[in-house]
Amino acid sequence: MKLYRNFTSQEEIDLEYNIALNVADRERWIEWYARESAKVRDELDCMLDVRFGPTVDETIDIFPARKPGAPGRNAGTGRETPSFCYRRPGPWE
C-alpha cells in the first residue's frame, strides 16, 4: 500500500527527505542560502518572525511589495496589499 506518492513506509520517506544522504555538496548550498537570505533581508523591507500560531515554530517573514499598486488585493477590504510571505522550513511532519 502506498503511504505517500510511491513510498510504502515512513522509513522510505525519511530517507528521501534526508539532505545529508541525498545532496553531496549540501554545505555549499546551505552557505549560498544563508548568504542570499541575508542579502534579501538587508535589501528589502521586511517583517521577520511574525507569529501565526501559538508555538515558536509558527512564524513567517513578510516582504511587502515596494511598488504601490502592485497586483494583489486584500480579500477583506479590497485594498491593494501585495506582499510575499515566507514560512521557513522546519519539521514537515
Task: State the Cα angle at 19 between 83 and 39, rounded to 5°.
Answer: 35
> What is the value of pTM for the model shown?
0.57
For residue 51, what is the enclosing H or E element? strand 47-51
CB of 72 closer than 8 Å to CB of 65: yes
Q: What cell was used for 73?
A: 488585493
Residue 15 has pLDDT above 50, yes or no: yes
pLDDT at position 72:
60
pLDDT recorded at residue 92: 44
Q: What is the pLDDT of residues 54-75, one digit of tens each?
A: 888 888 888 887 766 666 655 5
Q: In the structure, what pLDDT confidence band is assigned to residue 45 with cuts at 50, 70 and 90?
A: confident
